[in-house]
Amino acid sequence: MAELFDQLRAMLDAQSTDIEHVIMHIQAFSIETPSWGYGNSGTRFHVFRWPGAARNLREKLADAAQVQHVTGCCPKVALHIPWDQVADWPEIKAYAEQLGLQLGAINPNLFQDNAYRSGSLCHFDQQVRNQAVEHVLSCVQIAQATGSDVISLWLADGTNYPGQDDLRKRRHRLLDSLQAIYAAFPETMRLLIEYKFFEPAFYSTDLPDWGTALLLAQKLGPQAEVLVDTGHHPQGTNIAQIVAQLLDEKRLGGFHFNDRKYADDDLIAGSLNPFELFCIFNEIIGAQHEDNTNGGRITYMIDQSHNIEPKIEAMIQSVMHIQTAYAKALLVDRIALHGAQESGDVLGAYRVLQAAYETDVRSLLAEVRMRQGRAPDPITAFRTSGYAERVASERITDEITSGYLGM
């Protein structure tokens, strides 16, 4: 490993890239993990319970602390309300801090109430819209209690059939509801608006694409930004280009990372097309070189609900993939890239990216971890810790109290 790292240093020297600069960036890069990724969840077909899966927020935090322990880049945990609702937020905040964690983005739930059959923030009935707005506002309050500065808004709203609702009216109602929410935002908090092209059974989703989300954010104000979930696009979409556009509009609020083969979006980030993930980071780092990354306000989050995988391992693996893509994007020789681009050297420019991508950065990431006193390989570290076996024996109630349970 050490020798591989030295090789890498030499390679970077050759392209005038300071490896210590790269390491500094990697150290500063952090990824928020989702509380719901630690509990049991499933498809509409079945929930395969994982032995020892977290049953409540404290257990989720304990698991997240393990991820942070072995990776060193996951100090924050995103919450989902009401799945993670607790009576005493200061207490849970203190517990998190004790584990070395902070509470991250608050995710309202606007889909698991019978009132939402025809939508939530877009519902034709003002009363239902009010209920939804109230719920988001209560999340804003929770965020204040937990020290979170992000509300991640995802809607499962839409229509199942043509004609079911007036698409322009839904748009107006959505804007109205968001304006009511935005008005209550403290200045330090951001509203991240997530879009999704499809949803099971839907004919239209109310936030199908980045254009829709961006227009809303612009109408709301500077604290509203767009959240890119990598799994929420039509097949064949150039996500890196969407990222570039949002960076350019200074409205890229953050990411929900995950991957998918076709229709869903809960597979481990970067597990099916790691090069695409690299291209996304390449846009961000390219923009950073020009101080154009929305003031560093991009929040990197994972949004995955693992079905058959061990929950904690899947999260660690996801984090490693994201780190890998990020690290490789840092290795891109931007001077060479720029030169090739401006001279119309199509393949030469591509090869600059490809050279960075082909580089094995495992020794680099191991070095970063070892400098922090961590084991070089997070998965091995976790597997040998005995934690998984311990919680499997301790957490024996098989009650499921939250998550994607279809109930």
Part of the chain binding its own copies (CB under 8 A), chosen from 58-66, 85-93, 358-366, 384-392: 358-366
Q: How many CB atoms lie within 10 A of CB 235?
A: 9
Tell me which residues in 71-130 interact with its own copies (CB under 8 A).
Answer: 111-114, 116-118, 124-125
Region binding its own copies by CB under 8 A among candidate stretches 16-24, 38-46, 53-61, 177-185: 38-46
Note whether 4 binds its own copies by CB under 8 A.
Answer: yes
Q: Which is nearer to its own copies, 85 or 237 (CB)?
A: 237
Report how far residue 225's alpha carbon sits from residue 191's, in angstroms, rounded to the nearest whole number: 6
Taking CB under 8 A as the rule, does residue 313 contact its own copies? yes
Minimum separation from the CB atom of position 112 to its own copies (A): 5
Q: Which amino acid is at 295?
A: G
- From 85, 271, 288, 385, residue interacting with its own copies (rule: CB under 8 A): 271
d(CA 93, CA 250): 31
If DSSP states are collapsed to H, E and C, what string results for 94-125? HHHHHCCCEEEEEEECCCCCHHHHHCCCCCCC
Cα dihedral value 266, 303, 191, 225, nearest 10: -70
Query: Alpha helix (H) ranges present in 147-233?
Result: 167-183, 210-220
Q: Which of 20, 24, 49, 389 binds its own copies (CB under 8 A)?
A: 49
Q: Which stretch binds its own copies (CB under 8 A): 17-25, 44-52, 100-108, 184-192?
A: 44-52
In the complex with its own copies, the residue whose CB is nearer, 101 or 356, is 356
Asked if the peptide bond before residue 378 counts as cis, ω within 30 degrees of 0, the response is no
Number of neighbouring beta carbons within 10 Å of residue 52? 21
For tokens 């922090």, name the residue.
Answer: 372
Nearer to its own copies, 28 or 308 (CB): 308
Q: Which of 149, 125, 136, 144 is nearest to 183 (CA)?
A: 136
Give the tokens for residue 346: 């199509």
CB closer to its own copies out of 96 and 337: 337
- Shortest Å, Cβ 145 to its own copies: 26
CB of 401 to its own copies, least distance (A): 12
Does residue 14 touch its own copies according to CB under 8 A?
Answer: no
Q: Which one of residues 64, 77, 314, 381 is an interface residue with its own copies (CB under 8 A)? A: 314
Binding mask 197-236 for its own copies (x = CB under 8 A): xxxxxxxx---xxxxx-xx------------------xxx
Q: Which residues contact 295 (CB under 8 A, 6 or more apart)?
A: 250
# of chain residues touching its own copies (CB under 8 A): 113
Tokens at 120, concatenated:
């939530």
Q: Based on CB atoms, which residue is closest to its own copies, 185 or 197?
A: 197
Site for its own copies in 141-200 (CB under 8 A): 156, 160-168, 171-172, 197-200
Phi and psi dihedrals of 237, rounded to 5?
-70, 140
